[in-house]
Copies of this chain bind each other. A is one copy, B any other.
Amino acid sequence: MAAVASQLVQDMASGSAEHGAEDALTALINLVRVDLEECNRVIVAKMDSPVALIPQLAAHIVAAGGKRLRPLLTLAAAKLCGYPSANRRHIDLAACVEFIHTATLLHDDVVDESLLRRGLASANAVFGNKASVLVGDFLFARAFELMVQDGSLHVLDILSKASATISEGEVLQLVTQNDLATTEARYLDVIMGKTAALFAAACQVGAVVAEQPLRQELALAEYGMKLGIAFQMVDDALDYAADQATLGKTVGDDFREGKITLPVLVAFHAGSDPEKQFWRRTIEALEQTDADLDEAMRLIAHHGGIDATMDRARRYAQEARDALMIFPDSPVRQALIAVSDYTVQRAR
């Protein structure tokens, strides 16, 4: 496991280097770099099990897993609240947050693999799904084991509630999928659940370990919630952004699955009758031809669906920034504010 740990820390270090252009995130990472590296060590150590497939599969997804944004938020929130870096609680709890996130990723993979391979389920695909479900369960249980070791019922309350809310958001997304009658309010419920709830909890936990008054705790939860909403809205916009396609990035995943996102709702409600028919066929009936994604992107651009979504995201990012104003100015506060700016600039 030592080799895996060292590899992971290297991945993280090079991962942060990749974000050199995104000064905000780099600045935040640099402020808590030692803690983040230690958090990665905890992640690797705690995903171990005598059942070898568990650390193998977990290492695969944890190592592949993005920016470590959620544990970074816990570490940064703790620092913002003056929690001494020599202490360990923020590091262990940041690892819990990442485990919960990883568990949901693994279960999302099952959902996505099922769709991508629909009607073509091989024995191998089935084996992969099973392992993803079960290892996801393990990581989720392990997260609660670690929280119990930390010993704070308040932290357990925040993260168990967030976990239930995430599941509710995911189920609501499933229910609203392929349903153009979904309202914007329901769309907001989905993204608050599936994404923003864990951002909020990750930030709030940082205040809890620093034993801050409730006002500071809730301000950080508010920052995380609004940041998470903005983050997911931008993600939903990028899935239909033509310039992303020219950059070689993946677009159209949401379209192929018939997910109801804000860009689609904007274009659908502003659309002519033939356009509404197009959306009903492609999103509701999931009858899609190769040319349909381009047409969807054209219609969304035509009706300002990307701009409307990005505008909304920028408003939430502004509210995230506002929530931090009760804290005195500091390099961490500046970096957290810059991260919310960065989030709504990802489209460029």
- Is A1 at the interface (CB under 8 A from chain B)? no
- Give which listed residue, B51, B117, B160, B171, contacts A131 with CB less than 8 A: B171
Contact, CB under 8 Å: A118 / B123: yes
- Please, which residue of chain B has its CB at the minimum distance from the CB of A120? B121
Q: A160 to B141, Cβ gap below 8 A?
A: yes
Whether B51 lies near A175 (C-beta < 8 A) is: yes
Complex interface bits, A138-159 against B, C-beta within 8 A gives 1, otherwise 0: 1011101101100101001100
**Interface segment, one of A63-71, A162-170, A222-230, A311-319:** A162-170
- Which residues of B are found within 8 Å of A50, using beta-carbon distances? 168
Roughly how many angstroms separate A129 CA and B54 CA in the complex, as a whole number? 22
Query: Is B145 within 8 A of A161, CB to CB?
Result: yes
Q: Are A54 and B174 in contact (CB under 8 A)?
A: no
* CB closest residue in chain B, given A54: B171
**Chain B contacts for A151, CB-based, 8 A:** 153
A133-B111, A145-B160 known; A118+B121 contact, CB < 8 A: yes
Specify how many copies of this chain sit in the oligomer. 2
What 0/1 pattern do residues 103 to 130 of A give for CB contact below 8 A with B? Answer: 1100100110011011111110011011
Q: Mark A295-324, 1 if CB is under 8 A from B, else 0.
A: 000000000000000000000000000000
User: Residue A214 at the B interface, CB < 8 A?
Assistant: no
Report 16 cross-chain contacts, Cβ distance below 8 Å, ordered by A residue.
A49-B171, A51-B171, A51-B175, A53-B175, A104-B137, A107-B134, A114-B121, A115-B126, A119-B122, A121-B121, A131-B174, A134-B167, A135-B167, A138-B168, A140-B163, A144-B160
Q: Which 6 A-B pairs have the closest CB atoms?
A: A138-B167, A141-B163, A141-B164, A144-B160, A137-B167, A121-B121
